Amino acid sequence: MFAFIIRRLLQIIPVIIGVTIATFFLTWLIPGDPTNVLLGPGASEESRERLRDSLGLDQSLVTQYLIYMGNLLTGDLGQSISFSSPVSEVLFRRMGNTALLAGAAIFVASVAGIAAGTWAALRPGSFRDRGLTIVVLFLNSMPSFWLGLVLILIFGLHLRVLPVSGMPDPQSGLLTLLAHMALPTITLAAWSLAAIARMTRSAVLEVINNDYVRTARSRGVSEARIVLFHALPNAIPAVLTVIGIQMGFLFSGAVLTETVFSWPGVGLAMFQAISSRDIPLIQGGILMLALIFVLINLIVDVLYVYFNPKIRLN
Amino acid sequence: MTGKTQMTHPAQPVEPILSVDGLSVSYGSARQPLNVVKDVSFDVAPGQVLGIVGESGSGKSQTVLAVLQLLAEGGRISGGQVRFEGAELQSLSQRRMRKVRGQGIALISQDALSSLNPSMKIGRQMAEPLIAYDGLSASAARKRCTELLDLVGIPAPAHRLESYPHELSGGMRQRVLIAMAISRNPRVLIADEPTTALDVTIQAQIINLIDDLRKELGMALVLITHDLGVVAGIADRISVMYAGRIVETATTDQIFAASRHPYTRALLSSIPKPDQPRGERLKPIPGLPVDPREDVRGCAFNPRCTHALASCTESLPAMIAAEDDGQHLFRCPVDPFRLAEAEGPRARLQGNGGMS
Amino acid sequence: MNQPAITQRRAATGNAVEIRDLHVRFPVRSGLLRRPVGAVHAVDGVSFDIPEGQTVGLVGESGSGKTTTGRALLGLSPANAGAIRLFGKPLEELATPEKDLQKLGQLVFQDPYASLNPRLTVGSTLSETLYVHGLSDGGARKQKVRDLLDQVGLRPEIADRYPVALSGGQRQRIAIARALAVNPRFMVLDEVVSALDVSIQGQILNLLLDLQREHNLTYLFITHDLSVVRYVSHKVVVLYGGQIMEEGPTEAIFGSPRHPYTHTLLSALPVPDPVVQRAKRGLEIRTEPPSVTDPPDGCRFQGSCPFADDTCRSVAPGLRPAPSGQRVACHHFESIDIPSDQIGITRDV
């Protein structure tokens, strides 16, 4: 098991290198002088000279890349044009907010998705199963920003029960925080819920028809125990993979939701960066999101192996 | 006539512990049902061994799954009765059936690899119903499971409780299934092809084990198999199934020495036997087994039967009893002398243990 | 049906297959860097011949190495040591190009449900094989497909059907037809009837025997089922733990088995005879599967043999001839006395 984790960590290295190469090349792919790209059109000739020196812009690409990597390893992601502060600072400040939203969304999506998928799988072809399929189709088809706006309309404007934008001060208390989180969480969770519910349904269906479930039944074990202790544990690995992938999407998909709800997270920052051509921030943001995605996948792989003794003990 | 029989000496009738009467099992819609078991009847006396023999599509597994109401999604009992210790089973709710399963009637499935939960340790799987329903504490259950594993011949039983199914060999997994089946002291043990996919030396060990346990624990045994050799050594009575119906029921000796149904006889003739001289052609049954989706008029074996009479296509032959033994039942109107004659000079008419 | 000429043989033109000291090992990897830590000795020094036009039955249980041996003969398992000659030529020479070897020897598998592509009609599957092996003319292919189906006893209409609509026996016939399509001289039949109903196994076996006679085919018939082996084989090779325990003419092996393992196999074999089976109830069969990763010194069978002594545990017995015509790998086979009622064939032997 331990050897497996180490091996997987080592496997990440080439992926990370690949991602950094891609983000590095971003400066060169955008037309124009790199100093324009990185400092904005209004920069002074002095700062441009300094940048050329420190990044080695007149030297070979390989040297530049190495300088870039060196900077990365010390945490220097460049300077954000629109925020006028280091990119790393901007990202880290906002990471927490996005993580909060994404975390809540994945929690809601997982709990509701697994429950709904299991419930439907126990009665395949029935009314509730078909009902679930329709709901899932609906959730899958709705663009997140549309759902967000509709929720704002219903809960914010018509019913006036929930706040519709922004993130409250930490001093305002937990309840206010949850109230502000409610709508964006649901919006963000919708698509993932559909994917998780669908995967759970098919995984449970497959497992519940297995011979070992019949063995348990033949010994008098109740349906409830069968679902909880025989079916779900064997269905979970497949669902876990989907949850992991969804988490990756949630971090990056938060862009639209955060924008609609003005939630001050990485996504909103990215949106603003794109609008103002703040390339360093875009670069840094992509890199960070890619890293998070890779790490989440690693965790999912480890959990998958943990739940599957056959692989674990080999 | 059904498969109702009197178990022992007619002067002392024994009430069968398991009694199946006219059982039918169907899948699919009511308008277009797929009838996989048709009007099956048999009795099992306490402590007796009944062998149910048939090939693929005969419905033998479906029959016993129906007894325990373990049919797959879409399956249902479409007729008949099942009685266990006098009480009717076929109409019981799932909740009531749970009391019967495991404690009254236990099932050993084939394919031990897929019949064990791959992500649960052996000990935990075995102990689950003991702790949850039989009121044993965790340590008492552990002790009992260790005893059971020892009983079925697994070395280092306490250690084995911590293993996962894939860590055991095929033979050991089957022993675990057997231990699980007897763990709640059932009165009837149903073994569904317990030795398929096992090596022949392991097969012999497993069959002997099941028979020994049965005698020791006083259980009745229903052994389902396609292998006539396996059932020859331990069964008291054998029912032969074809296309969802029982075509013959008799004592083991009668089935092998004096069978009255063409399918049984053809089956016996078609098996390559270790003592068959080289150069003598095998006599497989010509044609193909019947498709369970077809509902045939008349006898289902008719297209492949060398003795078919005109009446065989018109109507299903009734189950009749042999003239010399009321417990020997079969669905065939053909004269026994015609059956033996047609097999040619090779047929040994004396009950020599070979075919007649 | 007349008595077939199964015992007639064409004049032997020599050996179709010669195997000398075949070893096949599969590495076992463990640890951080997946280093090989040991090996599974699937085949551990096997030598035998298959005369042309005859059938050798290769018998064994799990871990015996029988499937691996069969595959090695067709270059499908890597041989770590030893020599294989097909029709006088070394396997390595024949194996390039691959197609040449395939034209010489074909493999038919056990599982009739997995060996045919479910998305292709029967005709397409057979046609594809013909095309790959050089028959480019569409019309000629169609005709050949009809011929092949006829040879294996299937009606030509079957060519338009999909495997899912056919029975196990029919699918095996198609698998055999596909093997025949390239006009091979040699076929490895790996448990080809084991998955079929008992009453139709005979149909396939009879077909194989007929084809052997018509085309002078050589067969390696791999199975765990001793009754079937007796019916089709001229010679039998008994494997345990990757080594030969006993080998020789079928009649010798079945009529007077010498090796304790052969005795055990025959005793364990269920016979459709109640009296014989009941008599066997008292027999205790204690054979365990062989250890493949850690083979012991000396005789492979020592762990399960009631007659094993110190010699058996230290020195591996070679194959020695027995008077009845077979060769036996056992130190004590001349002195072991196993009562005939434990042989388990019939009471008449």
Which C residues 175-214 touch B at CB under 8 Å? 197-203, 205-206
- Partners of B174 on chain C (C-beta within 8 Å) are none
Residue C64 CB contacts under 8 Å (≥ 6 apart), including other chains: C239, C240, C241, C242, C290
CA C317 to chain centre: 23
What DSSP character marks residue B136? -
The answer to whether residues A236 and A206 touch, using CB atoms and an 8 Å cutoff, is no
List of chain A residues whose C-beta atoms are within 8 Å of the C-beta of residue B106 = 218-219
Q: Is C212 helix (H, G, I), strand (E, B) or coil?
A: helix
Give the pLDDT score at C8. Answer: 36
Q: How far is C253 from chain B (nearest CA, A)?
A: 11
CB-CB contact of B207 with B230 (8 Å): yes
| The two three-digit tokens of residue C14, written as one number | 């020599």
CA angle, B207 as apex, B205 and B210 as ends, to 5°?
Answer: 110
Which percentage of chain C shows pLDDT scores above 90?
40
The Cβ-side half-sphere exposure at B55, using a 13 Å CA radius, reads 27
Structure tokens at C316: 């591996």
Tell which A residues from 267 to 286 touch B, by Cβ distance under 8 Å: none
Q: Are B117 and B145 in contact (CB under 8 A)?
A: no
Residue C265 predicted with pLDDT over 80: yes
In chain A, which residues have their Cβ closer than 8 Å to the Cβ of C32? 3, 6-7
Check residue A293 and give its pLDDT. 84
Report the pLDDT value the prediction gives residue C339, as an integer from 0 to 100: 64
A230 near A212, Cβ under 8 Å? yes
In chain C, what residues touch B204 (CB-CB under 8 Å)?
Answer: 267-268, 270, 280, 283, 285
- Choice between A58 and C13, residue whose per-residue pLDDT is larger: A58
**Nearest by Cα to B4 from B336, B327, B266, B332:** B327
Return the number of CB contacts < 8 Å for B and C: 167
Q: In what order do the strands lie in the sheet with B320-321?
A: B105-108, B188-192, B220-225, B49-53, B237-242, B245-251, B329-330, B320-321
Q: How far is Cα A62 from Cα A67, in angstroms, rounded to an integer?
A: 9
Which of residues C10 and C246 earns the better pLDDT score? Answer: C246
Predicted confidence band of residue C12 (pLDDT cuts 50, 70, 90): very low
Helix (H) or strand (E) holding C66: helix C66-73
- Maximum Cα interatomic distance, chain A, rounded to a whole number of Å: 82
In a domain, residue B354? The reply is no
- Show residues of chain A in contact with B114, CB under 8 Å: 210-212
What are the respective helix, strand and coil percentages of chain A, to the nearest 5? Answer: 80, 0, 20
N- to C-terminal Cα distance for chain C?
28
Whether residue B191 sits in one domain with residue B295: yes
Q: What is the pLDDT of residue B9?
A: 43
Residues B49, B124 within the same domain:
no
CATH number reported for the structural domain that contains residue B51 in this entry = 3.40.50.300
Per-residue pLDDT of chain A (314 residues; tens, 9 = 90+): 677 788 888 888 898 888 888 888 877 777 777 777 777 777 788 888 888 877 777 788 888 888 888 888 888 888 887 888 888 888 888 888 888 899 999 999 999 999 999 999 888 878 888 988 898 889 888 888 899 899 888 888 888 778 878 777 777 788 888 888 889 999 999 989 999 999 999 999 989 888 999 999 999 999 899 999 999 888 888 898 899 888 888 887 788 889 889 888 888 888 888 888 888 888 888 888 888 888 888 888 888 877 776 666 55
> Quick check: helix, strand or coil at residue A207?
helix
C86 forms beta bridges with C17, C89
Q: Is the dihedral of CA B246, B250, B256, B261 positive or negative?
A: negative
User: Is pLDDT of B49 > 90?
Assistant: yes
Strands C243-249 and C327-328: antiparallel
What angle, rounded to 10 degrees, do the helices at B200-217 and B170-182 form? 10
The pLDDT tens digits for B115-125 are 999 889 999 99
The verdict on a CB contact (< 8 Å) between C31 and A3 is: yes
Pick the more confident residue, A253 or B329: B329
Residue with tokens 């298959």: C50
Domains detected in chain A: 11-76 (no CATH), 91-312 (1.10.3720.10)
Contact C285, C267 (CB under 8 A): yes
- One-letter amino acid for residue A297 of the chain: N
Distance from the C99 Cα atom to the nearest Cα atom in chain B, whole angstroms: 34
Answer whether B267's CB lies under 8 Å from C202's CB: no
Reported ipTM: the value is 0.84
d(CA C87, CA C89): 6
Integer Cα distance of C264 and C60 in angstroms: 12
Is B165 contained in some domain? yes
Range of the domain at B317: 1-104+186-206+215-274+282-345
pLDDT in tens, B212-229: 999 999 999 999 999 999
Contact B104, B57 (CB under 8 A): no
Q: Model confidence at C1, in pLDDT bands (50, 70, 90)? A: very low
Q: Say how far apart CA A90 and CA C97 lie, in whole Å.
A: 63
Together in a domain, B5 and B31: yes
Q: Could C226 and B289 be called an inter-chain contact, meaning their C-beta atoms sit closer than 8 Å?
A: no
Chain A residue with minimum CA distance to B190:
A218
**Per-residue confidence at C334, pLDDT binned at 50, 70, 90?**
confident
Are B270 and B199 in the same domain? yes
For residue C59, what pLDDT is reported? Answer: 94
Same domain, B237 and B333: yes
Q: Are residues B309 and B238 in the same domain?
A: yes
In-domain check, residue B124:
yes
Contact (Cβ atoms closer than 8 angstroms) between residue C177 and residue C156: no
C31 at interface of A, judged by CB pairs closer than 8 A: yes
Quote the minimal CA–CA distance from B14 to chain A in Å.
27
Indicate if B177 and B193 belong to the same structural domain: no
Which residue type sits at B65?
L
Cβ neighbours of C265 (radius 10 Å)? 28
Q: Is the pLDDT of residue C346 over 80?
A: no
In a domain, B221, yes or no: yes
Tens digits of per-residue pLDDT, A224-248?
999 999 998 888 888 988 998 888 8
Tokens of B276: 């068959």
Contact B201 C203 (CB under 8 A): no
Per the domain annotation, does B111 fall within a domain? no
Q: What is the pLDDT of residues C162-206, one digit of tens each?
A: 998 888 889 999 999 999 999 999 999 999 998 888 888 989 999
Chosen for mutation from B95, B99, B103, B119 (greatest number of chain A CBs closer than 10 Å) is B119
Q: Considering only CB atoms, which residues of chain A are within 8 Å of chain C? A: 3, 6-7
Judge if B140 and B20 occupy the same domain.
Answer: no
Mean pLDDT computed over C258-283: 88
Answer yes or no: do B228 and B308 share one domain: yes
C31 neighbourhood in chain A, CB within 8 Å? 3
Domain tally, chain B: 2
This prediction has a pTM of 0.83
Residues B228 and B317 in one domain: yes
- From chain C, pick out residues whose CB is under 8 angstroms from the CB of A6: 32
